[in-house]
Amino acid sequence: MGLIWSLIVGAIIGAIAGAITNRGAAMGWIANIVAGLIGAWIGQGLLGTWGPSLAGMALIPSIIGAIILVLIVSLVVGRIGKK
């Protein structure tokens, strides 16, 4: 049950990051889950585990990490798409 809960929270974090950056419309649920989980790892690695926590993820650092990830990926994909 813990894995399912982590995937759900990861999807929500990824969806929030996509909505904040206005780059989430093209992302599907799989991309939201990946962005949320990797973003949680990045955010907690950079900022620590402060703030409210859900499914083992500190929400605020996780959302910030997912925003950073979405912005970096969209910049890279945008540059590749222009070539």
Q: Which among 19, 15, 18, 9 is positioned nearest to 41, based on CA atoms?
A: 9
Kindly report, residue by residue over 25-74, the tens digit of the pLDDT: 666 778 888 888 898 899 989 988 888 888 888 889 999 998 998 888 88
Query: If you write DSSP's letter for every residue of 47-69 in order, what string do you get?
Result: H-S-S-EETTEEHHHHHHHHHHH
For residues 52 and 59, the answer to whether their CB atoms sit within 8 Å is yes
pLDDT of residue 61: 92
pLDDT value of position 65 = 92
Measured distance CA(58)–CA(30) in Å, rounded: 21
Q: Is 0.75 surpassed by the pTM of this model? A: yes
Note the pLDDT of residue 64: 92
